[in-house]
Structure 1
Amino acid sequence: MSTLGPVVGYRPGSVDLHPPGSAISCAPHVWERSRLEWHSRDGGDPLSILAAFLADAGLPVSDVSASPRVTDTVCGAAVLLAPPSAVASPAPGVPDLVAVVYGHTRPGERPGEQPGRPAPAGLPPALPSPLGPWTPPSPSPSRVGAWTPSWSPAEHAAAVGAVRDAIARGDVYQANVVGHASAPISGDPREALRRVAALPGARYGGVLSGGGTGDAPAWWVACASPETLVEVAGGRAVTRPIKGTRPATAEGRAELLASAKERAEHVMIVDLERNDLGRVARTGTVRVEELFAIRRWSRLWQAESTVSAQLAAGVGLARLLGAVWPGGSVTGAPKLAAIDVVSALEPVGRGPSMGTAGWIGHGPDGRLRIDLGLTIRTVAVADGLVHVWAGGGIVWDSDPAAEVAEAAAKTAPIKAALAG
């Protein structure tokens, strides 16, 4: 999901930057051919807008259940989709929807060139074969100032208590409360964000930028997420919800495995994801393939499950995302009621965090592959500030102080990576 500007996104010869989910073998041969940046203030349904844009670009997303073949003229698209929010984002310059479509370039051809046809005007000279390395500019390193949280630990703990009250009333069974902090940042952030995207366990590690001109983007988003919102290949959809966190020590692993509270919270979200997939699945095909497996992300153990289903005939991208987005592990159960509860408690909007980012395009077999992560462990940079978000699922027996500490543990590796 990595681009260094609004026009040329994935530079020929650069193999260290690539959209999450794309084939590494494509790295030296892809270029940005079109881009969509949409803000909620623009109006319209983002899922329909995204599906129409990708279809116009040549990606067959009208029926993702049929495992359609992708034309050779397009490699795929990096996608970033912020969650819906009634609260203003602290980073309003970052779009709520971004889609960057990439084309293929063969060695010796220029980006956009087709055999037998002249290349579009204004493109760089033909690339040598084999491709030589691209040397990035040498920007001034970034510096991150002091962090300012959007709420105090006491206010965060009070929000946890308010969710427990909502559970006692029967409004929700679980709700995910998310906090935010920001800090001033100077210099070029790309190396700092690259470190964030490279954190251990970042299955959806990548950096996306836009706005501005050339090598001076107006906004940046870095993702280090380990969590799959939805993956589709061969008509089979998979989601991998994560819920349950402990320090990445032997003692922390044993404690997570033994925690009845964490397991109950986790199973609630697995049931929610089963229901979400069931809305777009063939009858009787929803399966829990793995339950409460322990995975490592940076300095933390986390519990992950795998839920799968065969998609019903005719399910398109917009309908699929309408069923699973935003993810249950960052909302709660029931989903809509949980969103209402936390929207009244969280001090600022979630911005690009807690949404989705990933890849829609060529799979290894040349057929459409969707691989979208949930944007936990996500950073945004805009207007001289860097933003981070973190939270956790609240159930009746949640301890407010422990929840505050868990959110701090989730942002600690990100802040350390930003500081270098």
Structure 2
Amino acid sequence: MRKVGPYGVETLPQVLVDVPAAPTACRDTLAERARLHWHRTDGGDPAALAEEFLAAHGLNLRDLTRPTTGHHDTAGPCGAALYLSAAAGAHLAGAPTPAPEPAPTLPDLAVVVYDHGPTRRAPARAATPWWLGAWTESWTPQQHAAAVDAVRAAIARGDLYQANLVGHAAAPYTGDPLPALRRLGALPGARYGGVLTGDNWAIGCASPETLIEVRDGHLITRPIKGTRPATPTGRAELLTSAKERAEHIMIVDLERNDLARIARTGTVTVDDLFTVRRWCDLWQAESTVRATPADGLGLADLLRATCPGGSVTGAPKLAALTHIAAAEPVGRGASMGALGWVTPGHIDLGLTIRTAAADGEHLHTWAGGGITWDSDAHAEVAEAAAKTTPVRATLAGH
């Protein structure tokens, strides 16, 4: 565990606070107060560490059912950014250790507490023209397709019902990556658009998916499963696809089960089942699962119940995570985790799909999809490419 004082990126320039889901009215007035970094090699429980660190800095999230006034003391903390990697979520779930991370400078947990005050800015420096090199994939299309077929074989054996497979790519760069990462937040449908930076790392997010939100006495998750091109034909295909609907409903049932672990008995409901929404040039199917939190529910238990998100693992969750750890050649890095804003009275964490990360030398992207018995390997490879294409084009400045 690393508790560190306020600082900006050392080898990457600092930007104004632009954390996904942070209050819009506060973003220009936020100044970093303290931060916590944790890596899996540090040991311990990252969910408990996050809750304890926030409480120590004036943000008590040990009982999310406790009423709050909804007003911030301008002399105290406004809230905090919270990032939890997919690997940390797998750790919380008791899953096997995944493959080595392609961007090891990224922490597995980052908690950054913000006050209202003047935002620190990095000193001006000579601008280096932005250049982004060619992408190198972590697996070939043939290897990706073989992994899809391996999931189908596992389903045939009865090992699982669905597993999400994710591929990674890296590209070298020169110049300041933060403008490129910030551009992701402007993509259409990016509900969780923004950036989080640290020492020699940065994460840019364009996610449309709510992992978990706590507001006004409700727990809310919005799983997304099912993708087609954003054309009239694509929309009709998505709405009538038995395969996509079955894949989607499996994950909705998984999310219902996850929320039931931390909800009052009998309060879990599903709203807007299989609603088609647009992200960039894709149609995607989304549902809303809602529940009332159980008495005394705290942030740590909330993270343990919901991370990693079911739509990027599969069902049953632990069996899917076990298969994923053996199948994927590299770790999921900044993707398929949680990133957003937490404060007493409101938690809003996005699932880090459509997400990129920078270390000191490379940009990294990830994309994948859910595999069921009815999946076609070549179609799954094409779907992953369709998801990552807008992200890579935006990073390049196109």
TM value normalised by structure 1: 0.86
Which one of 199, 202, 207 corresponds to residue 220 of structure 1?
202
Which residue pairs with 1:188 in the alignment? 176
Partner amino acid for 1:327? G
In the TM superposition, residue 196 of structure 1 has moved relative to its aligned partner by: 1.7
User: How far off is 1:234 after superposition?
Assistant: 2.2
Matched-pair contact (CA < 8 Å) for 1:15–1:28: no
* Alpha-carbon distance, 1:8 to partner: 5.5
Secondary structure in 1 aligned to 2:204?
Answer: strand
1:69, CA displacement in angstroms?
4.6
How far, CA to CA, are the matches of 2:16 and 2:45 in structure 1?
Answer: 34
User: After the TM superposition, which residues 82-161 of structure 1 pair with which residues of structure 2 at under 5 Å, given as runs?
Assistant: 82-84=85-87, 85-105=97-117, 139-161=127-149
Picking from 355, 360, 365, the partner of 1:388 is 365
Q: Which residue of 2 aligns with 1:176?
A: 164
> 1:6–1:209: structure 2 CA closer, same or farther, 3 Å change rule?
farther
Q: Is the 8 A contact 2:15 2:178 kept in 1?
A: no
Contact kept, 8 Å, 1:77 with 1:100, in 2: the verdict is yes
SS at match of 2:65: helix
* Aligned with residue 336 of structure 1, among 302, 318, 327: 318
Amino acid at match of 2:145: A
Report Cα offsets for 1:379-416 as digits up to 9, x if no partner.
11113011110000000010000000000001000110
The SS at the match of 1:312 is: coil
Q: Which amino acid aligns with 2:85?
A: A
Residue aligning to 1:249: 231
- Equivalence for 2:269: 287
Within 2, Cα distance between the matches of 1:292 and 1:138? 49
> Residue by residue, what CA displacement relative to the aligned partner does 1:283-331 show, whole Å, maximum 9, x if unpaired?
1100001100011111111000000000010010000111111000000
Counterpart in 2 of 1:320? 302
Note the C-alpha offset of 1:142: 2.2
Identify if the C-alpha distance between structure 1 residues 38 and 251 changes in structure 2 by more than 3 Å, giving closer, same or farther: same
Q: Distance in 2 between matches of 1:6 and 1:141?
A: 29
Read off the aligned partner of 1:285 and give its amino acid letter.
T
Query: Which of 64, 74, 82 pairs up with 1:79?
Result: 82
Whether contact under 8 Å (2:312, 2:369) holds in the other structure is: yes
The alpha carbon displacement at 1:236 in A equals 0.8
Aligned CA RMSD, in angstroms, stands at 2.1
Distance in 2 (CA, whole Å) between partners of 1:60 and 1:69 is 13
**1:232-243 alignment runs, 5 A limit:** 232-243=214-225
CA distance 1:226–1:291, change in 2 (3 Å): same
SS in 2 for 1:177: strand
2:91 maps to which residue? none
CA contact (8 A) 1:94 1:352 kept: yes
1:399 aligns with 2:376: yes
For 1:356 and 1:142, locate their aligned partners in 2 and report how far apart those are by CA, in whole Å: 28
Rg comparison, structure with higher value: 1
Give per-residue Cα distances to partners, 1:347-377, cap 9 Å, x unaligned: 101011100000002xxxxx52000000011
Matched positions, count = 377
Tell me how far apart the structure 1 counterparts of residues 127 and 380 of structure 2 sit (CA, whole Å): 38
Alignment CA distance shift 1:209-1:8 (3 Å): closer
Runs of 4+ in 1 over 4 A off after TM superposition: 14-17, 134-138
Q: Output the CA distance in 2 between the equivalents of 1:48 and 1:96.
A: 14
1:265-284 mapped onto 2 (5 Å cutoff): 265-284=247-266
Taking the aligned partners of 1:294 and 1:226, their CA distance within structure 2 comes to 12
Cα distance, 1:135–1:90 mapped onto 2, change above 3 Å: closer
Percent of residue pairs identical: 60
Query: Match for residue 131 of structure 1?
Result: none
In structure 2, the CA distance between the partners of 1:306 and 1:368, relative to structure 1 (3 Å rule), is same
1:119 corresponds in structure 2 to none
Output the amino acid matched with 1:52.
Answer: E
| Structure 2: runs of 5 or more not aligned | 88-96
AA in 2 matched with 1:100: V
Asked if 1 retains the 8 angstrom alpha-carbon contact of 2:8 and 2:197, the reply is no
Structure 2 letter corresponding to 1:278? A
Contact 2:212 2:221 in 1 (8 A): yes
| Alpha-carbon distance change, 74 to 301 in structure 1, aligned in 2, over 3 angstroms | same
Structure 1's 67 and 393: CA in aligned 2 closer, same or farther, altered over 3 A? farther
Shift, 1:65, TM fit? 2.0
In structure 1, what is the Cα distance between the partners aligned to 2:22 and 2:360? 30
The answer to whether the 8 A contact 1:15-1:24 is kept is: no
